[in-house]
Every structure is written in structure tokens, then in C-alpha cells.
């Protein structure tokens, strides 16, 4: 079906606003509507029932970003209708109406509720800058945008996406290191997501200095965005990560505690730090080597005086259960005889000026050239160079300074990048440079160690970075405000597809007080990425460096983190399947609850779906906590609270306010010193009585390698049903022999009553109560008296160490 009025006439570039104008011709075929306006061309294409791609350009060909979207359009039913001056495209989940008079778009849900609509100005250009102006729905809130400071609800603020090295940034400063131009709009009629797929510098204005509209703009390139609608914010995030990808399953050791400093040297100091964790019974898995491990800050080198035998050092650390992660900066020192520089010149792998001269800027090593990671040959070369580290035994890689950063902080825009053969200036390539360096590191790690899962940590990135690396929030400050701002940054990254994220515990710049460090350690135990890091020329910042009380509090929360590894690892697996975050803003499940957006409660979040964490400053001894809909149990005492209410909670330094939602299930194991250490073989299943049930997916695999992609896993559902008064464990799936030989099920909030087991051939030991630990002043999770069942001798079944389906009934 098509319709033509007259030929398209593209207006000349102008410094006044030019709207897209009236639609002059259009054609609809196979889920795609395209046509011409007075100044440009457009295309609307459905990727699936709830995702439509919108493209508008003033040029003959649409531009593209080859890096973020990896999904291909799916076949879906689209009903097309022309009526007067409007075109209607409708799937079972989304309706789009095009106003032919000004190419303004309106988006509706399946029940014809208006979700989002363009202002009559629609899509417009001023010079090369392209903008889409949107109407604001009544009471609309805006969340997401990745690594952005400020409030959960971004109404009234404007943000810029331009990856920036920002040492000791303020808690309201923008932009920072990483850009994700994806946000969710939420109002009474529903919610939606918009991903602006343009790598140039972009701006999102949610009502700053204007009350007419909100808008998003790019300084150049096409207007290209994906409109996403499904019934819930969770489903919208799942859809966004179908577009841009999801993280791979990380190695289990990356979930443990990680210790970093700028810098640990010489090797004797690295040994001392590692031994400190073991001597003080503080579980830990990773030690980092910052820039002082290198000779004159040159990547792919070790300082021969500080680290006389790196391979032996790393081997010795592995004997203690530690992995080593090294920093990699992109700047290649322009030094004659330095092999990476010589090879980069010979192979034409560096960023250049338009006349072919290699671009140089100053970073840590001095004057440097910069690999062009938008070139496949460069990524292949980088992967080969990483053999220097992997042959020494290095397991993880930390890509830093990859905005790219340089002294002076003002990279000339005319420098050129390969951009997968398209050629692009710094204006288009900057925001994806860090992502492509992280990609190179991940591909290099996989190339060098094909049987090990890569672990890459990055400071910079763009939409889709979750496919390649974990992210941390850069050079933060040792302050109460930064501690809470870091929580919001990680939660916002989670809203934007980045599940594996964290912050520098204790603050990178400045020095934390004893209380601040203790509180930060307790909060970060409930973060996806758990790393302490501090700057050069500051006092020691290992968890034992702040005195006895801070050491004891830190130890207990570190131990709690490791006891929760079964829940944590299972949640990471679930995130690889859904794209949903581990640190989950309350806006995902409780988007319509106005209280969660209040400044007093906006830092609260759900961790691993079970724990409501209420971060609070270290100096407070009592705090206000908002509990959303449902009933909630205080983690440390099982005190029950009704939801949709504000409570006052004691919060002494050793008790971070944490609650468990009624009806939830989570799992635990015994204490271990590192993730690969042997536990006692008992999987502890904690079930909290509630009026609503839940389902927990328990997941295990070898913790590394890729057999899990070929049935090398152990997976089963554990469900709690109040309606049938039962707990069920489904038949396990996969070929991995479980790491647990016994199950112990703890009942929280249940009255004592008789129970039945569906398979009475199981050996069942029933104890009315079990006292499993000594209650101490600092213990964050004392094991109180709870009735429990312990099921042993699982190996007697036909499948070794495999418990068949069974059900516990008659709970109350």
C-alpha cells in the first residue's frame, strides 16, 4: 500500500528550526512504513509486538549505529489503517498513529490508553542538531538514563551523554564516564521506554527551563529511536535488553569481595594484603594491580623492580584463593622500541588526523597514541597482546581511562575513527570508544583462555556495554553523600540494562571515617559488584585499617555476602536470561507508588528480588523506611511489618536496615574464605510466610568455563504457595552434579504444625527448633530459632546427589 502527493524536496541546512514537515509520500509493506516529508525521509518498523523503531533523516540513506542493537526484527501481526490525515499501525500490544500533517507520532497501549505523543514541533533540526519534542503526560515521571547523578525521578532536569573523565565528581554533576540514552516514562496510564540509538553527544531534557515539552536531541546524525511498551517496567527492561543484549554468566569468583588500591606495590605488599584477609578471616577473592604494576605506566609491561617474578606472585596468590585483575589503559606510549607502539604504527591501528598523521595526547605514560577499537584489526591485535598478562596467570581485566581520557580533557573533534569501515569523527565515535575497548578486552580474554569466562571491568561504555563488561561508577569521593549517590547510580544502571555494577567502597578520593567505611561495606555487600578502592597518598583502606569495630562489622557483612552466594549466583543467572538487575530500583515493581520517588526513600532498592535494602548514612541511629505493598520481615529478628507504610527503624552502625518480603524464598550456604572454597554441603532454604507466594530459581554450575551452555548446570524451581500451604522443589534440570548434599529448610513466620512429605522414602529429620549460631553484638544475621527440616542422604537416589521432586504440605 502506498500514497504519493509529490516529490520530496530536502531543504538546505539552516541555523533556524526546521520541522520535519508534512508527509508527502508513504508506503507500507511487511511491518514497515516509510516515506518522505518536506525536508526528509522516515521509516517506522516493528521489531516485535511491543517495539517500534523510528527513523528520520534529511539524507538519502539512514545512518546506523553498528554497536548497540543486536536483535533482528521478529515477524508480528501489524494491522494497518489509513483514515483521513492519519495512519494507524497496530500490533496486539502497541498502536502507533502518524499525523500526516506534521509527522507527529502518538503511541497507545492495547486498551487505547495514550502512552506518549509528540509535540506538534515533532522532529526538528537546527543546523546539524536533531531533536524530538514530546508532550508530557499528567504526573509523568522519568527514570533511567544509566550512569546519571541526581534523583530517581528526573523531572525538571536535563542530562548530557558525552563520556567524560571526571575525577571526584559532585553528586549532582553531569556528564560522567558512561552513556546510556535509554529512559522509562511512567504515568497513570502506563509506562514505556525510549532508546535513542545515536552515538553523538545527546541531551535529554525532562522539563528544565521549559513547561511545554520534554525532548531528546543529538548534535548530529539521524533521529533514530526505539519505542518500547509492555505492561510493566520489568517487561520493558527485558525488551530493551533483547535489543541490546544481556550479560554473559560471569565467573563465580567475580561475585566475591575485591580489594583494590592505586596502587599495591611491590609484590611483597600484594602478598601482605592477601595474607591479611586470610589471617583476619575476611572472605575475599580478588586483588587488583593498578598502574604502578607497569614499567613507566606502559600497558603490557611489568615493572621489573617492583614485580620481579609476576607469574610466581600470581601463582602464589592463587594458592591462597585469590585472582588477580590488572588495569589496562588505552594510551600507548610513543616511544621508539616499545613494541606495542611500533606494531600499532606498522599495522595502522591508531586513531589519526584527517591527513593521516597519528593523533597523540598526554596520559600517564606521557605522549601516547590511541588504538582505534572501532577497527576489527585493532581488536584482534589487542587480543593477541593480552597474552602478556594471561601467560602470567592474570584472570581479569580492568579497562580504565577509556572515555578516552587525556590531560587537558579536550579531544579535537576532527580526529578520525574507522567505525567498522564507515569512517567517523570523534563526535560520533567518542561515546562508543570505551565500549569497544571493553569488547576488545573481553574478546582478548576469551581468545587467550578459551575455557575460562572473561571478567572485564570498565569505566566507560554505551548502550549494550552489559554484553562485554561490568561497570563501576568511577572516581567517587569518601563522603556520606557519595555513598548514597553511588546506590542511585547503580540502581539507574540497572534500569538501563547494566546488571553487573558497583562503586568504589569507601570512596576513591579523600579518606573515609571509621563509621562511613563500616556503613559503606554493609551497603555494598548488597551490590552486584563488591570492591573497595582508594587513591594514592591516602591512609590504608583495607577493611581492618579502621579499627576493631569497623573491622568486625566489615567482616560480618563480608561473611553474609558469601553465605548468600547461592542466592547471588542464581540471581546472576536469572539476569542473564531476563536482563533485569540484581540491584532493583523500587520503580520496577512499584512504579505507581508515589512514595518511592520521595527523596527520603528513593535510595531504597530490592536486591536479588528478596531483600529490601534501605541505605542510610553512618551517623544516623534511627531512620525512616518506606515499605511498599505487602508484608515485610526485618531480616535480623523476623519482626513483621505491614506494607504501604512508613516505619522508624533503629539503624546502629552494625545493623543496616534490610527487610525480606513476605512470601519470598532465598538460599544460603555455610561460611567460606573465597568463592571456590568448600562449604559444608548444606543448602539452606529460607521461606517467609506470606499471603502471596513466590518462586525461586536455584541455579548451579561449575562457576567457570562454558559447560553450562551445554546442559552443564543444575537448575530447579523452589516455590511457596499460601493457597495450597505447600513448598515444592521441582525435578532438577541439567547434568551438573549439585554442590550440595543436604537441604535445610527454614520457616520464618510460620506457626509450629505437623507437615507431610510427598515422597516418604526420603530420610527426614525433624527438629522443632535449631540454634545454629551465637548472637553477637555485630552479627548482621544471627541465626535465630526457626523450625526447620533437614533432608539428608540425597545420593541414595538413582541420580547421584540429585533430589527428585518433592512437596511439603500442611504448613499451617
Q: Which helix (H) or strand (E) holds 191?
A: strand 190-196
C-alpha span between 756 and 737 (Å, rounded): 27
C-alpha span between 498 and 771 (Å, rounded): 40
Catalytic residue among 109, 222, 475, 704: 475
DSSP state for residue 232 in the 8-state scheme: S
C-alpha span between 150 and 248 (Å, rounded): 29
Q: Residues near 200 by Cβ (< 8 Å), separated by ≥ 6?
A: 218, 219, 220, 221, 427, 428, 431
Other CB atoms within 10 A of residue 25 CB: 16
Per-residue burial over 537-547, b = 16 or more CB atoms within 10 Å of its CB, e = otherwise: ebeebbbbbbe
Q: Is 400 a catalytic residue?
A: yes
Catalytic residue among 267, 403, 504, 584: 403
Residue 647, phi then psi, degrees to nearest 5:
-120, 160
Q: Is 165 a catalytic residue?
A: no
Catalytic residue among 48, 109, 290, 400: 400
Residue 407 · residue 361 · CB < 8 Å: yes
C-alpha span between 435 and 379 (Å, rounded): 12
C-alpha span between 515 and 55 (Å, rounded): 52
Q: Is 403 a catalytic residue?
A: yes
DSSP state for residue 755 in the 8-state scheme: -
Q: Which helix (H) or strand (E) holds 597?
A: none
Using the Cα atoms of residue 520, residue 526, residue 532 and residue 535 in order, give the sign of their dihedral: negative
C-alpha span between 259 and 269 (Å, rounded): 13
What is the Cα 224 distance to its own chain's centre?
24
Q: Residues near 593 by Cβ (< 8 Å), separated by ≥ 6?
A: 586, 628, 629, 644
Q: Is 217 helix (H, G, I), strand (E, B) or coil?
A: strand
The CA-based angle 540-545-546, given to 5 degrees, is 115
Positions annotated as catalytic residues are: 400, 403, 475
Amino acid at each position: 500500500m502506498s500514497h504519493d502527493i509529490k516529490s520530496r524536496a530536502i531543504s538546505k541546512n539552516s541555523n533556524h528550526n526546521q520541522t520535519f514537515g508534512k508527509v508527502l509520500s508513504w508506503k507500507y509493506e511487511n511491518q514497515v512504513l516509510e516515506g518522505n516529508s518536506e525536508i526528509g525521509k522516515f521509516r517506522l518498523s516493528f521489531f516485535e509486538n511491543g517495539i517500534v523503531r523510528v527513523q528520520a533523516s534529511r539524507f538519502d540513506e539512514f545512518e546506523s549505529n553498528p554497536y548497540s542493537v543486536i536483535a533482528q526484527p521478529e515477524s508480528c501481526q501489524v494491522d494497518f489503517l489509513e483514515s483521513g490525515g492519519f495512519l494507524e499501525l497496530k500490533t496486539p500490544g502497541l498502536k502507533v498513529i502518524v499525523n500526516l500533517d506534521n509527522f507527529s507520532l502518538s503511541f497507545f497501549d492495547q486498551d487505547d490508553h495514550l502512552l506518549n505523543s509528540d509535540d506538534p514541533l515533532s522532529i526538528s533540526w537546527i543546523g546539524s542538531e536533531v531533536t524530538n519534542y514530546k508532550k508530557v503526560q499528567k504526573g509523568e515521571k522519568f527514570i533511567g538514563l544509566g550512569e546519571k547523578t541526581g534523583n530517581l525521578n528526573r523531572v525538571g532536569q536535563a542530562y548530557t551523554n558525552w563520556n567524560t573523565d571526571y575525577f571526584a565528581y559532585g553528586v549532582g554533576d553531569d556528564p560522567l564516564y558512561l552513556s546510556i540514552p535509554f529512559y522509562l516514562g511512567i504515568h497513570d496510564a502506563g509506562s514505556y521506554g525510549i532508546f535513542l540509538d545515536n552515538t553523538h553527544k545527546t541531551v535529554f531534557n525532562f522539563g528544565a527551563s521549559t513547561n511545554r515539552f520534554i525532548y531528546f536531541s543529538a548534535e548530529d546524525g539521524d533521529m533514530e529511536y526505539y519505542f518500547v511498551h509492555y505492561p510493566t517496567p520489568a517487561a520493558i527492561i527485558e525488551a530493551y535488553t533483547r535489543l541490546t543484549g544481556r550479560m554473559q554468566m560471569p565467573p563465580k569468583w567475580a561475585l566475591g569481595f575485591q580489594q583494590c588500591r592505586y596502587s599495591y606495590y611491590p609484590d611483597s605488599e600484594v602478598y601482605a594484603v592477601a595474607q591479611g584477609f586470610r589471617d583476619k578471616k575476611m572472605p575475599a577473592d580478588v586483588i587488583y594491580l593498578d598502574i604502578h604494576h607497569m614499567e613507566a605506566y606502559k600497558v603490557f609491561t611489568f615493572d621489573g623492580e617492583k614485580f620481579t617474578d609476576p607469574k610466581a606472585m600470581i601463582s602464589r596468590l592463587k594458592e591462597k584463593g585469590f585472582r588477580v585483575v590488572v588495569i589496562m589503559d588505552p594510551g600507548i606510549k610513543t616511544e621508539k622500541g616499545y613494541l606495542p607502539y611500533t606494531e600499532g604504527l606498522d599495522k595502522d591501528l591508531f586513531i589519526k588526523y584527517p591527513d593521516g598523521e597519528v593523533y597523540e595526547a598526554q596520559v600517564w605514560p606521557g605522549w601516547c597514541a590511541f588504538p582505534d577499537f572501532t577497527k576489527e584489526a585493532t581488536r584482534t591485535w589487542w587480543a593477541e597482546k593480552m597474552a602478556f598478562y594471561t601467560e602470567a596467570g592474570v584472570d581479569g581485566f580492568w579497562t580504565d581511562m577509556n572515555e578516552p581520557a587525556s590531560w587537558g580533557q579536550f579531544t579535537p573533534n576532527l580526529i578520525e575513527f574507522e567505525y567498522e569501515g564507515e569512517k567517523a569523527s570523534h563526535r560520533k565515535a567518542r561515546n562508543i570508544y570505551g565500549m569497544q575497548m571493553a569488547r576488545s578486552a573481553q574478546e582478548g580474554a576469551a581468545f587467550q583462555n578459551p575455557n575460562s569466562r572473561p571478567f572485564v571491568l570498565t569505566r566507560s561504555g554505551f548502550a549494550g556495554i552489559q554484553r562485554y563488561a561490568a561497570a563501576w561508577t568511577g572516581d567517587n569521593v569518601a563522603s556520606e553523600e557519595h555513598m548514597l549517590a553511588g546506590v542511585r547510580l547503580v540502581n539507574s544502571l540497572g534500569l538501563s540494562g547494566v546488571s553487573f555494577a558497583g562503586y568504589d567502597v569507601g570512596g576513591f578520593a579523600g579518606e573515609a571515617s571509621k563509621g562511613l567505611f563500616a556503613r559503606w561495606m554493609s551497603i555494598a555487600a548488597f551490590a552486584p559488584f563488591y570492591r573497595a578502592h582508594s587513591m594514592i597518598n591516602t591512609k590504608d583502606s583495607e577493611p581492618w585499617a579502621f579499627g576493631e569495630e569497623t573491622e568486625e562489622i566489615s567482616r560480618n557483612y563480608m561473611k553474609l555476602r558469601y553465605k548468600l552466594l547461592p542466592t547471588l549466583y542464581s540471581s546472576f543467572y536469572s539476569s542473564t536470561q531476563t536482563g533485569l538487575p540484581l540491584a532493583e530500583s523500587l520503580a520496577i515493581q512499584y512504579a505507581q507508588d508515589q512514595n518511592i520517588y520521595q527523596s527520603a526513600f528513593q535510595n531504597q532498592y530490592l536486591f536479588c528480588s528478596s531483600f529490601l535494602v534501605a541505605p542510610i548514612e553512618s551517623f544516623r541511629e534511627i531512620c525512616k523506611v518506606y515499605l511498599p505493598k505487602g508484608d515485610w520481615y526485618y531480616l535480623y529478628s523476623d519482626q513483621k511489618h505491614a506494607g504501604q507504610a512508613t516505619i522508624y527503624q533503629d539503624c546502629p552502625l552494625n545493623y543496616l536496615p534490610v527487610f525480606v518480603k513476605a512470601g519470598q524464598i532465598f538460599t544460603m550456604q555455610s561460611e567460606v574464605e573465597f568463592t571456590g572454597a568448600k562449604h559444608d554441603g548444606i543448602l539452606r532454604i529460607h521461606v517467609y510466610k506470606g499471603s502471596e507466594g513466590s518462586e525461586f530459581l536455584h541455579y548451579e554450575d561449575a562457576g567457570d568455563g562454558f559447560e553450562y551452555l551445554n546442559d552443564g548446570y543444575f537448575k530447579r524451581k523452589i516455590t511457596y504457595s499460601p493457597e495450597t500451604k505447600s513448598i515444592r522443589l521441582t525435578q532438577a534440570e541439567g547434568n551438573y552434579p549439585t554442590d550440595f548434599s543436604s537441604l535445610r529448610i527454614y520457616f520464618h513466620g510460620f506457626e509450629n504444625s505437623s507437615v507431610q512429605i510427598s515422597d516418604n522414602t526420603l530420610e527426614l529429620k525433624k527438629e522443632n527448633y535449631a540454634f545454629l549460631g551465637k548472637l553477637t553484638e555485630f552479627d548482621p544475621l544471627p541465626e535465630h530459632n526457626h523450625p526447620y527440616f533437614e533432608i539428608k542422604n540425597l545420593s541414595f537416589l538413582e541420580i547421584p546427589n540429585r533430589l527428585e521432586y518433592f512437596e511439603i504440605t500442611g504448613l499451617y
